[in-house]
Every structure is written in C-alpha cells, then in structure tokens.
Amino acid sequence: MKLWILRHGQAEAQAPADSLRQLTAAGQKEVLEVMSGLAGEPFEAVLASPFVRAQQTAELACQASGFPGGIITVDWLIPESDPHSVIGCLEQRSEQNLLLVSHQPLVSQLISLLVEGHRRGHYPMPTAGLVCLELDHVAAGLARVIK
C-alpha cells in the first residue's frame, strides 16, 4: 500500500474557531505546487479532516493530481486524533493508494508511529508537507518512507 500524508496548506492565523480557518493565497499556491508533481497518481481515495483548511487542501490536491473522485471526510483526521486510532481506521480500508489530508501534530505522530513504532520520532511537516509511505500491512513500525 502507498499511503500519502499531506498536511494542509498555510492557513489564516485567526477565525471564529480553529476548525474554520481557511487557506491563504500562499497556502493555496503551495498545495498546488506540491501536488502538481503527482499529476496522474492513481489515488483510490482521498480522505480529509472536516476542518475547512483541510477540505480546501484536499480539493486543491484532487484538482492538481487529476483525482476524479470525491473527498471522503473523516473525523479521525483532526489535529488531536490519536495516531493509534488512525491506524485502526486505516486497517479497515481496502485501498492500495490512499491520500490523507490532515494537521499537526497528528501527521508527524502518525508517520513516526507507522515508521518507527512510536510517536516520538522527528518528522517535521511544514504546511503543504507531503510524505509517501509504503506498507505491506498497516501496523506500527512497518512502513518505509519512499518520498
């Protein structure tokens, strides 16, 4: 399985609620630039946090990569989600090429857990940061970073 993990693009500093923060123009541009290199990547699904900035990032990612399907919104990709729970949710999915759009600190903790088997690894993920993991089985400590 190829698991692509994308952090949302740069977002406005303030909004009435954190979940309502929108991408800035710079954030939109950085997402399009990062994802343009994946044009034609055969994603089977794009899953995103319900937060506005993640939804906007997912829409741009689909546009830039040419993904024809819709975005699947899941509440287990919010910033404070437990990466162990995310692994449990991923174990239930059958796709072999999946894009997740989420937030810090979840994205770094998830990468660390999947690659190293714990959440303490150092995987800096700037806005619009993208990592691709390869996994034979979705489980802690079994992934390999390929991009």
Q: Helix (H, G, I), strand (E, B), or coil: what is residue 111?
A: helix
Give the pLDDT confidence of 35-51 residue by residue, as tens digits. Answer: 999 999 999 999 999 99
Mean pLDDT of all residues in the chain? 97
The candidate with the shortest Cα–Cα distance to 71, out of 55, 88, 51, 90, is 55
Asked whether residue 125 is assigned to any structural domain, the reply reads yes
Q: What is the pLDDT of residue 80?
A: 96
* Other beta carbons within 10 Å of 50: 12
Q: What is the pLDDT of residue 122?
A: 87
Asked whether residue 15 is assigned to any structural domain, the reply reads no
> In sequence order, what are the residues at sequence separation of 6 or more whose Cβ sits closer than 8 angstroms to the Cβ of residue 40?
65, 66
Asked whether residue 75 is assigned to any structural domain, the reply reads yes
The count of domains in the chain is 1
The model's pTM: 0.97
Q: What is the pLDDT of residue 5?
A: 98
Residue type at 108 in one-letter notation: S
Q: What is the pLDDT of residue 49?
A: 98
The candidate with the shortest Cα–Cα distance to 43, out of 74, 73, 65, 72, is 65
* Cβ-defined contacts of 19-23 (< 8 Å, 24+): 19/50, 19/51, 19/52, 19/78, 20/51, 20/52, 21/51, 21/52, 21/53, 22/52, 22/53, 22/56, 23/53, 23/56, 23/57, 23/60
Angle at 24 between CA 78 and CA 16, to 5 degrees: 60
| Domain coverage including residue 110 | 2-10+21-145
Look-up of token digits 């690659």: 115
Contact 125, 34 (CB under 8 A): no
pLDDT means over runs of 10, the chain (147 residues): 98 97 98 94 97 98 95 98 98 97 97 95 94 96 95
Asked whether residue 133 is assigned to any structural domain, the reply reads yes
CATH of the domain at 109: 3.40.50.1240
